[in-house]
Structures are given as C-alpha cells and as structure tokens.
Amino acid sequence: MNEIQLKALQCFEAAAKAQSDDARSRIAEILMRNRVGYDFFAAASESVRERARVVIHFHPDRLDQFKKTVIESLLEKGYVTNQFETGISGGSLTPFSGGPRDKWEERLFGGVYQKPGVRAADRPKYGALDLMNFSDGAAPRFGSCYFRLGKDVLKRCTFTNKDSVFEPDIFGTVMHPDALLEHLLLRAETETSVLGIEHPCVNGLLKRFSCLSDNRVAFSSSFGRTLDDYVEAQIHGPIQLRTDVDRLVADPSFMGTEIETAMRSLCQKYAIEMDWHAGFSVSCDKVPAEFRGPRIPVLAGRVAENGKLTASIIGKAAFSLAMNPEFWHDWAPFPETLQHIKQLWHVLAHFGEPLIRKPALIDAVIAIVEKEICRLSEIEKTPEETHPSTFDRNDLPLLQMILEVLESARSQETSKIDLNGKPRSFLLELFDEHARELPDFCRDIGRSVLNELCE
C-alpha cells in the first residue's frame, strides 16, 4: 500500500474499532437471549478471522474501454483494476470525480481519496467477504466468475454491512469485526434470510461461520444466489494475481470457448488454482416479468440459444452491444440496453438451474461403465476364437476398478474422482464412444467436466 491507501485504511479502522468495542456488550445480550455460549461465539469469530476470504466477482467475457475482454486484460496486466481505470463495472458505473462512487468513497474514507494527486489506480477495488462458502460466491450479482483472494489481503480490507451505494453505517475490519457480527446476529433473530441462509437463527449462523473452509468448489451447486445481501469489501492497495489471488472459480458455460483458454492461461501464468461451480441455465419461458421488469423476458427470447440462457450466452449479447451497437437501436439507448443485459444476468443467477448436475453426470457415466462390463462379460463367456480383435481380458478388471471409484465418489459426494493415467484415459475414451446415449447436459460439456473431476 502507498501512503494514501494506508491513511484511508487507518481512518476507517478507527471507526470500525470504536463500533466493535461498543458492540461487545450487545453481542453478549444476543447470545444470552438465544442461549448460546460465549465460547461458541468466540470460536466462530476466530473462524471468520482465520478462514473467511474476500472474493471479487467479474464477467470474464465483458469488454473494457479498449475493447479487450476482462480476462484478456487481466492476463496481460497481471493485476486487478477498479472502475476508475477500466470504465466498466458489474454494478453502478460512475468513475468520475464528483460522481456517486467518488462521494461514497469520500464518506467512507474521510476524503483521503479525493485529495490532489490521487490517481485512479490508488482507489480501492471492490469485492465481498465470503462468510458462507456458497459455490456461486458471496456476491454473484457482479459476475459469473470470481477470484478468491489470499489470507494476507484481509489485513488491508475494510468491510461494510451493505453495498456502499446504500450508504452503510456499520463498519468492520478483520481485527475489529464485532459490529458487523452483531448486525448479522440481530438479523438472524428477526429476518427470514441472511446472506443466502433461509430461516436463520443465531446458533445456525454461528455454526456456518465455524465451518468455513478452503475446499474446492468442484462443480458444486450449493448456490446462495445473494444478489443483494452481502458484506461489501473494499480492498486497498494493489491486487497482484501472482501473490494475492489463490483461486479462480469459473462458470462452466465457458468450457470449450476462447474465454476458457484465456482463463487457463491466466491460471498457469500466475500460479492460480482453477475451479468451477455448477453454472446456471434457464429456459426463456421461466424468465419472469415481475423480477426485473416486463422487457427482460423479451430480451431473453432475443438473445437465447435453443431457448436457453447461460452466462456465456448473455455475454455474447453484451459483446454484440459493445462491438455493434447499431444492431440494438431498435431496443433502447446504449446505457439502458446495457442495464437490461445486467438485469438478465440477475435473472439467470436467481432463477437458473445448475448447468452441471454432477451427481447425475456421475450416474450417467456409471451406467456406461456397467453396460460395458456386461458387454465384455458376455464376450468372455464365448469361445476365444469368436472374440472380436478389440477384446482384451484386462479391460474387465480395469472397468471394475473404475466402477468402484465412481460409486465411491457418488456416495461420498467427493470433489474429485481419483482416477489418473490409463484408467482416466480409458474412461474418457469410453465416454466418447457412448456420448450419443447421454442426456443433453452430459453430452454438451460432460467430457470436460469429467476430465476436470479426474484431475
């Protein structure tokens, strides 16, 4: 961090400490009302300090002001930029002095970022504090993919109880989180949903905090769909991909595209772990008019492919708008059309079904393996001279071993199928041979998913 960023952090931290100190007695009252021991709260609070991480959501296929995709720009630069630098945003876009974003930052950080000589690059980047480990991230509103930042970044993050657009008044840092925790516990007493958890209670919320982990997502469909309910994070100082980003969690609708290629190149270049959530898919006839307005279902029909929407399909519409705005003159002016495309993503993230249904995929692959075992067993019973030239007795025990591994992965719901080398190659070849027999969702990108699960 430079001197400007350090001053902003110190200004905020003083307010967070004062609020945190004031919150402790009220937290004790909340725990007493709900018959929760203070030791349990202390353990949950420590878990948040040690295992919670900040995530930054983004759409990898959106174009920046230089007509480069976000992922291409990240690959080239090696660091994360803010909207004052890029001119794009998954949320409110006001990257200019005196604009709403500038005013929000002035309010939060004591005017430090408004002083003469402050550069666009000096300003904070925005993310969300992941307290729930949902596979779609802490704030999917802002993008289909997300970076999971490293632990050391937490020390230069500030947190607010809601998005800065709503002028939040509850502050926290990793060392002074109690005011934020009090706010969440109070909500758990009275509200029907907190950070994506339905019908929460104080004890249940603290249990979630205590169970935070760093496990891979591995196509999980444990979605939180938290479009509007998250703890906003402001990250001060640079975010270098090589040193500050641990993992990229991507939407599988980009599998087999140039975007996937760029994401893999980025992960390889900057030593970032690649991961995938289950992705979203929704039929056009499931897009409601009341959620984001009556024009959104019409837009869905205009951009859908085979009656379906995914993150990558919506991205194609955004690309078309940026590169060929004349094609959209019949729809609305550019800013309004861009907002409608953002809202279409909100609909997909809120109502979409999992694009990848991992248990169903494994079941389909198990069925293929069982069928092949039966076929080879029948051949083995016949005279050897009648065996086809492709028959190999060694394939049967290999298939039996593969079947056991698949059944174990299915029953234990593991994030990985423990196959490599020849068994893995054999299974992928078998998948290719029987791909036409598989359900559509397996056939389209199932091989890529299977290959990932076996890595």
pLDDT at 378 (0 to 100): 93
Show me where the domains of the chain are located.
Answer: 3-276, 280-354, 358-453
pTM of the model: 0.91
Tell me the per-residue pLDDT of 243-257, one tens digit each, with 9 for 90 and over.
999 999 999 999 999
Q: How far apart are CA 320 and CA 326, in angstroms?
A: 9
pLDDT at 385 (0 to 100): 87
Q: How far apart are CA 344 and CA 311, in angstroms?
A: 10
Q: Are 125 and 56 in contact (CB under 8 A)?
A: yes
What residues have CB less than 8 Å from 241, skipping those under 6 apart? Answer: 74, 78, 79, 80, 266, 270, 272
- What torsion, rounded to 10 degrees, do the Cα atoms 310, 316, 321, 327 define? -100
pLDDT at 454 (0 to 100): 87
pLDDT at 413 (0 to 100): 76
Tell me the per-residue pLDDT of 36-58, one tens digit each, with 9 for 90 and over.
999 999 999 999 999 999 999 99
Tell me the per-residue pLDDT of 356-390, one tens digit each, with 9 for 90 and over.
988 888 998 999 999 999 999 999 999 988 988 88
pLDDT at 138 (0 to 100): 98
Q: How far apart are CA 234 and CA 212, in angstroms?
A: 21
Instruction: Calculate what percentage of the chain has a pLDDT beyond 90.
Output: 80
pLDDT at 92 (0 to 100): 59
pLDDT at 65 (0 to 100): 85
pLDDT at 403 (0 to 100): 94
pLDDT at 322 (0 to 100): 95
- For the chain, which residues score pLDDT lower than 50? none
Q: Are 363 and 411 in contact (CB under 8 A)?
A: no
